[in-house]
Structure 1
């Protein structure tokens, strides 16, 4: 924990931090938007710790930070197009030129391209893929930015990048309703992409004899294509698509479900919906990919399985798990204050305000259990 004296020694108080959000959704998001939800929590946590935050983003203000807007409204319907991302980055750089900042923390994809023009450090959080072409992109940026991974699993995919640490995403657990007694149906919630495994969730629920509700983002053409080929043929009395859930509806669903089914087919770098479910006291039944074993305590807050064929049995066993253990796991391991303190330590190190002994600066994430 950073002491009060250490922080007060930095310019007599908090740091001046510029946050750059992606351009696609409000912060916090009204519905889908895992990055934006994480970012809203981080801004709130850092503000409580006495830092001066300027948030550059799209849409409407919704955090304690000073908000400087690029797009109003956020161009959510244009996700997949290059121009909104590039224009957002250009406008953000123009705004930053007139700000007096100690550090820039960028959560967008194109924004880091402008980092070389700044006199202050730029930190980026890698919210998605870090291998393949994304890895090549981040390697080019390594001379001008430092990077934070959102899981150890993500960092292992590209260990040679300029990592400043690993910090798990977080939520304000108290902002999610807790329910001890659950309904009989199970839930899948996410983006309709084959990698998210909605079709596997339906199959597993049906094999377990449980009804499943599916709520998720269905806007891009690739999502519609996947939905029509793999999801719609599986719908019926046992499987119902209920549309995209806004923040309020999402909380209701997560709190009521017997379990959240998370059968991912890729190396998911985190998975915000897992900690949101557990915050509601709802266990997670997931496949062992990406960060899942870092997030779910197997046999305590959910079940982590290697094969899809094992999911039905895990769904049936979900009601044996303690909802209180799920909630406390999130509060203890994935709280906003802990996330904010870890980012604060990285900011101080990058700006020269904190010197740590060798070996204490690179791994800012703890094991699950």
Structure 2
């Protein structure tokens, strides 16, 4: 899709998942993206109604809750998302809007029941039941990919655009002088590679600080089997649990590098652009969207195998934090993301008028 300038004000219903506040206090990549997009759209003159659970910390002119509290304790259960979708259907019936932008899982099922166009951003790898589900929705929704690598796994689907996620660089603290430790920031699950990160930092002789969500049974099981034994081997690996706010900003800005040793095809990876906005290079394994986001040798080092990570950690000190910040500001801002979604919205509206 060719991204064009949009001058008129649109009425947009932004549907977030029911699991975390916007913006989230800690973990929540989808919620961070939604928050950044809402704020940028409002700044660009649009009227946004946010439908979510819990508190609203965005600039949305209108906020409608489906749950008083976010439902993160029930992640993995089907009913919260179903109740959320049913509430959204009722809420939208009384609203005068131009376009619905849905980030939830169940909500897109109801798109065929309304005449207002629905744009759906896919935030997961497009495979298995997830792929089958969104393929079955046909032309009732317009699908947006968050990376070319994600879209390439299912080119036959009803894609209308590829729009990289963005963030507001002003929300992060740039720091030129780095400290001598690496940062792992994410979720305590095997495919995020926390165990690989600890082993690589130890082999490089560099300390590591680990900040991760670890509350669900599978996360705790992985922590107990793979992470706790590694932490017991020395104080060079520090467990911080889940972080947010100023603590997260301080960690991102001070780290020698962010280590991102994923073993799955990550569709995007918000933490990479957050690190770059902080002037911190990314050392990552070459899976999913990594090579679209990290400029190898400039804003980070892209590795082909875990064995390459220790050397990459040491080399990361040679990269210029100014280059990292410049890349984030030039290519991954929330304003640029919003500008591209404006074109998606206008195209969806035009196709139904």
TM-score bin, normalised by smaller chain: over 0.9
1:95 maps to which residue? 91
The secondary structure found in structure 2 opposite 1:186 is: strand
Q: Is the 8 A contact 1:24 1:58 kept in 2?
A: yes
1:39 maps to which residue? 34
Q: Does 1:210 align with 2:211?
A: no
Q: Any gaps of 5 or more consecutive residues in structure 2?
A: none
Superposition deviation, residue 247 in structure 1: 2.2
1:322-364, CA deviations, whole angstroms, 9 ceiling, x for partnerless residues? 0000001000000111110100001001111899xxxxxxxxx
- Of 136, 142, 164, 1:140 maps to 136
2:12 maps to which residue? 17
- Of 176, 179, 182, 2:178 maps to 182
Aligned pairs (5 A) from 1:47-196: 47-65=42-60, 66-196=62-192
* CA distance in structure 1 between the aligned counterparts of 2:175 and 2:56, rounded to whole angstroms: 31
The secondary structure found in structure 1 opposite 2:241 is: coil
Q: Any gaps of 5 or more consecutive residues in structure 1?
A: 8-12, 356-369
1:74-101, CA deviations, whole angstroms, 9 ceiling, x for partnerless residues? 1111111111111001101110011011
* CA distance in structure 1 between the aligned counterparts of 2:175 and 2:249, rounded to whole angstroms: 11
* CA distance in structure 2 between the aligned counterparts of 1:259 and 1:296, rounded to whole angstroms: 12
Q: TM-score normalized by structure 2?
A: 0.96
Q: Is the 8 A contact 2:184 2:209 kept in 1?
A: yes
Question: Paired residues, what number?
Answer: 348
* CA distance in structure 1 between the aligned counterparts of 2:116 and 2:88, rounded to whole angstroms: 15
The secondary structure found in structure 2 opposite 1:249 is: helix
The secondary structure found in structure 1 opposite 2:139 is: coil
The secondary structure found in structure 1 opposite 2:161 is: strand
Q: Is the 8 A contact 1:173 1:330 kept in 2?
A: yes
- Of 22, 25, 41, 1:27 maps to 22
Superposition deviation, residue 129 in structure 1: 2.1
* CA distance in structure 2 between the aligned counterparts of 1:111 and 1:202, rounded to whole angstroms: 39
* CA distance in structure 1 between the aligned counterparts of 2:195 and 2:78, rounded to whole angstroms: 30
Moved over 2 A (4+): none
- Of 326, 334, 337, 1:336 maps to 334
Q: TM-score normalized by structure 1?
A: 0.92
Q: Is the 8 A contact 1:279 1:330 kept in 2?
A: yes
Indicate the RMSD between aligned Cα atoms, in angstroms: 1.4
* CA distance in structure 1 between the aligned counterparts of 2:153 and 2:274, rounded to whole angstroms: 25
1:38-97, CA deviations, whole angstroms, 9 ceiling, x for partnerless residues? 111111111111111101001111111111001111111111111111100110111001
2:228 maps to which residue? 232
* CA distance in structure 2 between the aligned counterparts of 1:168 and 1:328, rounded to whole angstroms: 16
* CA distance in structure 2 between the aligned counterparts of 1:142 and 1:190, rounded to whole angstroms: 33
* CA distance in structure 1 between the aligned counterparts of 2:275 and 2:332, rounded to whole angstroms: 12
Q: Is the 8 A contact 1:180 1:281 kept in 2?
A: yes
The secondary structure found in structure 1 opposite 2:350 is: coil
Q: Is the 8 A contact 2:117 2:352 kept in 1?
A: no
Q: Is the 8 A contact 1:254 1:276 kept in 2?
A: yes
